[in-house]
Amino acid sequence: MTTPSAPQSIYDLQAQRLDGSPCHLSEFKDHVLLIVNVASRCGFTSQYRQLQELYDEFASPTTDAPPKHQLVILGFPCNQFGAQEPGTDQEIQKFCSLNYGVTFPMFSKVEVNGTNTHPLFTLLKERAPGLLGTEAIKWNFTKFLVDRNGNVVERFAPSTSPSALRETIQKLL
């Protein structure tokens, strides 16, 4: 019996959208990605507003848009830090939509640390360790920037505001 091989790329992975439908992350190939573990009852929750602003500024509104407009933000709710994301997928969707006008892709709750870590976050943490090489995510709104080729470029602390990433994102676009 052979053991399954570890994913070589984020594009090898899948996640479940808030509406329950499956999403192959290969759907986002050739886009710059900002992947964030989010929570609706966190001191950093207001970052949703800046995330949406970045998405509005750099997301491709049409298929014939110029390449510079190809940022996709992926939000992954997580309830592992202070139980700050207790809601159902439907409650999370409603909260994000009503309070912050979120239109970027949002996914079902995941774990980002521990034995049930979602494979995406295992890969992200391995490729972009945190302070002093630690892999564990310390809190909600940790951000990972991924280039068009699926390379994890950088990891940002929860306290780093999304708008502070604008210049770094522009360089990748």
Domains of the chain: 12-172 (3.40.30.10)
145 phi and psi angles, rounded to 5 deg: -100, 130
> Residue 7 corresponds to which tokens in the numbers above?
């994913």
Residues 37-83: pLDDT tens digits?
Answer: 999 999 989 999 999 999 999 886 555 555 545 899 999 999 999 99
Instruction: Select from 75, 145, 142, 144 the least CA-distant residue to 106.
Output: 75
Report the relative pairing of strands 22-24 and 14-16 from DSSP bridges: antiparallel
Residues 75-116: pLDDT tens digits?
Answer: 999 999 999 999 999 999 999 999 999 999 999 999 999 999
Active site residues: 42
Considering Cα of 111, then 132, then 142, then 154, what sign does the dihedral take? negative
